[in-house]
Amino acid sequence: MPEEVGMKKTKIAVFVSGGGTNLQAIIDGVEAGTITNTEIVGVISNNKNAFALERAKKHGISAECISPKDYESRDIFNKQFLERVNAYKPDLIVLAGFLVVIPPEMIAEYRNRMINIHPSLIPAFCGTGYYGLKVHEAALKRGVKVVGATVHFVDEGTDTGPIILQKAVEVQNGDTPEILQKRVMEQAEWKIMPEAIDLIANGKVTVEDGRTVICD
DSSP element (H, E) containing 129: none
CB 77 within 8 A of CB 92: no
Rounded Cα–Cα distance for residues 197 and 45 (Å): 20
CB 170 within 8 A of CB 136: no
Rounded Cα–Cα distance for residues 36 and 193 (Å): 13
Q: Please identify every residue annotated as catalytic.
A: 118
Q: Tell me how far the alpha carbon of residue 190 is from its chain's centroid.
A: 10
